[in-house]
Amino acid sequence: MELSWLQTFLTAAECGNFRKTAELLYISQPSVTVHIHHLEEELGVKLFDRERQRVKLTKEGRRFIIHAKRILDDCEKGMEDMQSFHQRYMAKLTIAISPLIADTILPYVLKKYMIKHPQMEVAVRVTDSVDIEQEVYKDQVDIGLSCLMPLHSELVCEELYTDQVALIARHDGMDSERALIPDEEEILKNNLLLTDNHPVYWEGLKKQIRLKYPRVKMMKVSQVHITKRFIIEGLGVSFLPASTVRREILEGSVMEVPCHILTNLPKAGTYAIMKDRDAKLIEFMEFLKTFRI
């Protein structure tokens, strides 16, 4: 049994047409027919019923899909393992990171870590904070970097740092000597407020804002990197953790607006979530703490 037969079978099962299968796999239609014929002979069952221009899985064909996928998946994992071995990786660290944290200087930190540990294979999964806890608990990742503290009692949680939330607006283009200090009330009354880009602080913050500025217009934008793009393009303003806009402030594309009426602005936490603190994770945590993410 050849792996190419299995790939042809799964593709044909998905699209239900041998001609389309040939196009997707960049092979000839007769080759598709030959692959399926060989596979049926090998298994001793009929996998497809032919209906004019289309093919339909038989009962045996539907059952074999599970096995075909498993065989190809095991083969792919084996290839990855051998490639890792060939590259002399001695260990693997899988990290789940929320989009908000991934938008800070974390890529720079990971690069430094990988240079220091060339034998460590690092894999990163960008996952919403609400889902990171489950990924850690189910051993899908080794460690999660999240904006939310976990609820599960079996998980270990360590706060990496807290971040002050600030009102961020598009930079006015003036240098620091000539620029007027931006006015909080004017900014909020004359701009759309982009909200809900953080999973923790927005519900309470929106109530506070509505008490002080009942006429402010709001628009939900779920991702921080989109929020920043909108701010830079002049679409609105937002309240963001300071670390997420550090680069943009230094580049002069956005600015922080001092708040004198909204004086009780929240702080945002960043947490490392683990199931077990083995030597690999302890070392990684110590490395993270040497940086201000």
pLDDT tens for each residue of 238-263: 999 998 898 899 889 999 999 999 98
Topology, domain 91-161+269-288: D-Maltodextrin-Binding Protein; domain 2 (3.40.190)
pLDDT at residue 35, rounded to an integer: 93
Exposed, middle or buried, 291 (CB in 10 Å: 0-12/13-18/19+)?
middle
Pairing assessment for the beta strands 91-97 and 143-146 based on DSSP bridges: parallel
pLDDT at residue 135, rounded to an integer: 95
Lookup: tokens for 43: 């298994």
Exposed, middle or buried, 11 (CB in 10 Å: 0-12/13-18/19+)?
buried
Spatial distance between the Cα atoms of 190 and 257, rounded to a whole number of angstroms: 14
Topology, domain 163-266: D-Maltodextrin-Binding Protein; domain 2 (3.40.190)
Check whether 181 has a pLDDT greater than 60: yes
Among the residue ranges 8-22, 75-89, 141-155, 264-278, the one predicted with the least confidence is 75-89
Looking at residue 206, its amino acid is K
Among the residue ranges 45-49, 137-141, 158-162, the one predicted with the least confidence is 158-162
pLDDT at residue 87, rounded to an integer: 57
Q: Mind listing the pLDDT tens digit for each residue in 66-108?
A: 999 999 998 888 887 777 665 554 578 899 999 888 877 678 8
Check whether 177 has a pLDDT greater than 70: no
Check whether 174 has a pLDDT greater than 70: no
pLDDT at residue 202, rounded to an integer: 95
CATH 3.40.190.10 in the chain: give the residue spans.
91-161+269-288, 163-266
Q: Which residues contact 80 (CB under 8 A, 6 or more apart)?
A: none
Domain 3-84 has CATH 1.10.10.10: yes
pLDDT at residue 216, rounded to an integer: 94
pLDDT at residue 179, rounded to an integer: 55
pLDDT at residue 182, rounded to an integer: 82
Check whether 156 has a pLDDT greater than 60: yes
CATH 1.10.10.10 in the chain: give the residue spans.
3-84
The CA-atom distances, in angstroms, between 155 and each of 100, 188, 271, 283, 287 are 22, 40, 12, 18, 21
pLDDT band for 293, please (50, 70, 90 cuts). low
Spatial distance between the Cα atoms of 45 and 47, rounded to a whole number of angstroms: 6
Share the mean pLDDT of the chain: 88
